[in-house]
Structure 1
Amino acid sequence: MARRHSRQDPYGELDREAEAPAAPVLCWLCGRPTGKTIIWHHPVPKSRGGRDVVPMHAICQQALTTNFTNAELQRHGMDVEALLANPNVRKFVDWVAKKDPDFTASTAKKQR
């Protein structure tokens, strides 16, 4: 009886060209593709009952926690447009839009 698969290619007839590369994961705040590190952020803090998570850059998460309290994040919820209405966050997103996906830097201290 003949072999069903060749020794060199045990998976035989799989079409390797049909496998599309995975789509890049986009940051919830800035909309840029994430790099090697993806932070899974709770837009509504867990301490305030948040369960949903969204992918973000580490620097974008730092910008949110710098500019908003947990109570403010709870009020905004999953509404990214309301967060972008803050002038500090809008300025940050416009600035970081030109950076590499794996770009990191320290952000300003909390403004409270």
Structure 2
Amino acid sequence: MDEPGCWLCGRPLGRRVEYHHPHPKSRGGRETVPVHPICHRTIHARFSNMELARSPSAETLRADAEIARFLEWVAGKPPDFHAPTRRRRS
């Protein structure tokens, strides 16, 4: 049976896996999906919980220009790759 990939980037998951609420837990979300730690931090650095509640699908997040640049950059990295995540600009 194939291992599931990361919900955001689709790469195979590594040793460290985090679980993201596509619809934020603070807004009543219960479902979780597996993501790389770097992908999880990128999601929350780019979007507020209010924005995630309005657009919880991976396709919507991937369509964002900033996320698309991140996905292009991280595509060739190994599953357990980690780098500092830039915080959202206010």
| TM-score, L = length of structure 2 | 0.95
Q: Give the aligned partner of residue 73 of structure 2.
A: 95
Q: Superposition pairs for residues 69-80 of structure 1, below 5 Å?
A: 69-77=48-56, 79-80=57-58
1:30 equivalenced with 2:34 (yes/no) = no
Q: Of Structure 1 and Structure 2, which has the larger fraction of its residues in helix?
A: 2
Q: Superposition pairs for residues 44-63 of structure 1, below 5 Å?
A: 44-63=23-42
Aligned residue pairs, count? 90
Separation in 2 of the partners of 1:71 and 1:34? 27
Larger Rg: 1
Point out where structure 1 has 5 or more consecutive residues left out of the alignment: 1-21
Q: Per the alignment, in what secondary structure is the counterpart of residue 81 of structure 2?
A: coil
Point out where structure 2 has 5 or more consecutive residues left out of the alignment: none
Identity %: 46
1:40 equivalenced with 2:19 (yes/no) = yes
Separation in 2 of the partners of 1:85 and 1:26? 19
- Displaced runs of 4 or more, over 6 A: none
Out of 40-49 and 55-64, give the one that drifted further.
40-49
Q: Per the alignment, in what secondary structure is the counterpart of residue 101 of structure 1?
A: coil
Separation in 2 of the partners of 1:41 and 1:80? 11
CA displacement 1:36-88 (0-9 Å, x = unmatched) = 011111111110110000000000000000000000000012x1111111100
CA RMSD for the aligned pairs? 0.9
- Shift of residue 93 of structure 1? 0.6
Relative contact order higher in (CA < 8 Å, ≥ 6 apart): 2
